[in-house]
Structure 1
């Protein structure tokens, strides 16, 4: 019997689920796991039927971040910049640049660059027992994977800096209050609720969801006037789509629209 896959991937309807599968190592991300995750992302991206991707972990951890065993010698530590650019940036860029929505289902500890991955997702649901953790100052490092920017966007500079310099664990209620996640779920039903949420979203107009994601991400760095113009441009694309025409006709006849993504 061979070893279990580092990442499991499955599709149900329009929803793909990517699950990290190094539970005994708290889903710590070593080189092989990073490659396996990227491969699963590419598979979801290539599948036109997939509209929403649920990203989660196995066991009691979403992912604890980089596997520190990889950094056991000084020569490897000197290569951390290369690891960030070569391995992590493609994972994060694939989430941010995808036309599909990503939902992080945070089933346990989301730590280090694993927290960056969770917060880069478009939406997030968190188990009530789960925590978010920025442990970098404990080991003499600074955040990576864009975590400083992500925390700033969600929490404001003072709370973000406090979380970083004090290496705080934040519980699920605090994460919800601060806007790091959208929803909480009981531990036993987290993945079920994440998939149900994803399935509901996947029934909506794919173009609307994709464009809304793109606009919202641009809104972090662009002006009000720029975003208003971008909205107008994408509104025209939507208005000229087959889905919009069919949805308006369905509304007028009191039918439920079926969206095809075109």
Structure 2
């Protein structure tokens, strides 16, 4: 499934309504086995729509809090807890909440002209959308601090060298590469992939012993699946498996 942020006249700045619309799509995947997130036009997402959040006014703090807790955060949780893999195709800027949306994917591909920006410090705000959690785990404390406290652009090539993203590619082939990767994931054992997503996320906070138990429980579920049976049979028959996600 391809989900495109579509407000190109605003560089896909995301008002609360857009967060709700993404969440509604995630509630009705209709059998989709992988998701590609991208933006229309010249940007992935330039951040939350400040006008919709109250801007920088004195009353903006409460408006921002309400927008995050009622709209943006629930959608970020849905993205994190999906049972299918996500690929982001980052075209142009991914700033503010847009950076968080892009980086929530399992695989982040970025065009060479793309960049990632924690712009909050430049307008007297703090990172949101889970950025302070994600960035420290993706690139470590020092680089996360650089991104958040200095508020400077991190280009796609630098992001790749940092390990912030999966791959930097030429702009012209970005969406094709993202769709090809999503097709590869969709052809895999998606029940097992969903368990892997949850185990990876939990391992970032839990202990080694807890990870072992989660893996054992996951293996019990995956090992009883039709895909596991197909995988075993296809291995013995020396052919490519045909997974169904069941």
Given the two structures, how large is their TM-score scaled by the length of structure 2?
0.95
Aligned to 1:221: 205
Correspondent of 1:249 among 228, 233, 237: 233
Correspondent of 2:14 among 13, 29, 52: 29
List alignment gaps of at least 5 residues for structure 2: none
Mapped partners of 2:219, 2:61: distance in 1: 47
Cα RMSD of the aligned pairs, angstroms, is: 1.3
How far did 1:41 drift? 2.2
Asked if residue 90 in structure 1 is aligned to residue 40 in structure 2, the reply is: no
The question of whether the paired residues in 1 share the 8 Å contact of 2:42 and 2:91 is answered with yes
Asked if residue 79 in structure 1 is aligned to residue 63 in structure 2, the reply is: yes
Q: 1:1-262 residue pairs with structure 2 within 5 A?
A: 16-44=1-29, 47-48=30-31, 50-70=32-52, 71-72=54-55, 73-262=57-246
Mapped partners of 1:143, 1:221: distance in 2: 20
Given the two structures, how large is their TM-score scaled by the length of structure 1?
0.89
The question of whether the paired residues in 1 share the 8 Å contact of 2:120 and 2:126 is answered with yes
Per mean C-alpha deviation after superposition, the further-off stretch among 125-134 and 154-163 is 154-163
Mapped partners of 1:189, 1:91: distance in 2: 28
The question of whether the paired residues in 1 share the 8 Å contact of 2:17 and 2:71 is answered with no
How far did 1:76 drift? 4.3
How far did 1:40 drift? 2.2
State how many pairs are aligned: 244
Mapped partners of 1:148, 1:178: distance in 2: 16
The question of whether the paired residues in 1 share the 8 Å contact of 2:100 and 2:130 is answered with yes
Mapped partners of 2:137, 2:200: distance in 1: 12
How far did 1:100 drift? 0.9
Higher relative contact order (CA 8 A, sep 6+): 2
Mapped partners of 2:197, 2:100: distance in 1: 18
Misfit runs of 4+, over 6 Å: none
Mapped partners of 1:37, 1:229: distance in 2: 33
